[in-house]
Amino acid sequence: MSTFNAESTTNDVIQGISLSGKVAVVTGASSGLGVETVRILAGAGATVLMLARNKDKLQGVAQDLREANPGASIDTEIVDLADLDSVRRAAAAIVDKYPAIDILINNAGVMACPLARTAQGFEMQFGTNHLGHFLFACLLVPALTNSARVISLSSGGHKFGRMDFDDPNYQQRNYEKWSAYGQSKTANALFAIGLDDRLKSRGVRALAVHPGVIMTELSRHMAKEDFDLLSARLPEGQEMTLKSVEQGAATSVWAATSPALAGEGGVYLEDCHIAQAATPEGEGGVESYALDHADADRLWVLSEELVGQVFTF
């Protein structure tokens, strides 16, 4: 299916692809993978709407990208995914301004932060990484074209925790930042399945992406012992491999644009290919619980309950 691999870059995977006339929406677009994703999509001709919560930072990055590519069509919108009121305001403004969206990349996220709560009281990682994006994507569905792709950035970190449907927001159990991160990344993968199941009949496909391990602002809460812990979880004899930002964003761009993925959905991608099942010996792969359609449906119902809105597509 793919001639690309872990070392492929965004420039590699976009080669020969024109996005002229397409509209792409990217969250978490003011740093790291988000900036690179916007750069490549805009460079291929798409109109790209960049979203982030810090207005000054977002507009500064957008201006830098426009100066680097004067022909680029780049717009900005503010959203705080940790506040569902902000999500609703942003989604309404976007659908009004962009009634036809071809690519949605749910790229924003927080990782391994101390226990904190969103504006509505959800555990910060589950609330931001999953619930904010769940509501945002569902509110944009009316604008998604009949060949649109929705990309959810999951992570190999989904291996650190499956969904706890009884206590997703750590109201009863003790908080552990890596288990919480793992739960949120499992939720991202399950959301791709749930959304794909509901929208594929109209031509919209949803996919989950593991970008790899990249040193970006996402890791700002990590100390040396956290990297030691991650290394210790690798199979014996393996070392943690870091990707460049260009390599890390490649799978998102490939997922959003590759003709090779036409007709694919509800799958988990890594290193620019569809991931195999995880094995005890392997570094990559996807756990079966992150691909469980029954759990995806259960998460969907829970998410609707938590955001206070039922979606019928």
Share of the chain above pLDDT 70, in %: 91
Return the number of other C-beta atoms located less than 10 Å from residue 34's C-beta: 28
pLDDT at site 238: 55
> Is residue 4 one of the residues assigned to a domain?
no
Share of the chain above pLDDT 90, in %: 87
In the predicted model, what is the mean pLDDT of residues 223-240? 61
Tell me the pLDDT band of 282, cut-offs 50, 70 and 90.
confident
| Residue 108 clears pLDDT 70, i.e. is over it | yes
User: Three-class SS of residue 24?
Assistant: strand
In the predicted model, what is the mean pLDDT of residues 205-233? 72
Q: Which of the residues are catalytic?
A: 181
> Is residue 247 one of the residues assigned to a domain?
yes
Cα(25)–Cα(29) distance, integer angstroms: 9
pLDDT at site 225: 67
Which amino acid, 16? G
Which among 153, 28, 43 is positioned nearest to 90, based on CA atoms?
A: 28
Cα(286)–Cα(263) distance, integer angstroms: 20
| Residue 80 clears pLDDT 60, i.e. is over it | yes
| Residue 239 clears pLDDT 70, i.e. is over it | no
Can you give the residue range of the structural domain that contains 191? 10-307
pLDDT at site 260: 96
User: CATH no. for residue 189?
Assistant: 3.40.50.720
Q: DSSP code of 244?
A: P
> Is residue 2 one of the residues assigned to a domain?
no
pLDDT at site 242: 85
In the predicted model, what is the mean pLDDT of residues 263-287? 92
219 vs 270, residue with greater confidence? 270
Q: Phi, psi at residue 48, to the nearest 5°?
A: -115, 130
| Residue 232 clears pLDDT 90, i.e. is over it | no
pLDDT at site 19: 98
> Is residue 64 one of the residues assigned to a domain?
yes
> Is residue 312 one of the residues assigned to a domain?
no
Q: Phi, psi at residue 88, to the nearest 5°?
A: -65, -40
Count the alpha carbons within 13 Å of 93 in the hemisphere toward its beta carbon: 14
In the predicted model, what is the mean pLDDT of residues 209-231? 68
> Is residue 1 one of the residues assigned to a domain?
no
Which among 217, 216, 218 is positioned nearest to 245, based on CA atoms?
A: 216
* Whether the model pTM is above 0.85: yes
Quick one: CA torsion of 102, 106, 108, 114, rounded to 10 degrees?
Answer: 170
Let me know: does 11 contact 251? Beta carbons within 8 Å.
Answer: no
Total domain count for the chain?
A: 1
Apex CA 57: angle with CA 56 and CA 63, to 5°?
Answer: 90
Instruction: Supply the mean pLDDT for the chain.
Output: 94
| Residue 215 clears pLDDT 90, i.e. is over it | no
pLDDT at site 222: 56
Give the tens place of pLDDT for each residue, 10-62.
999 999 999 999 999 999 999 999 999 999 999 999 999 999 999 999 999 99
146, containing H or E segment: strand 144-153
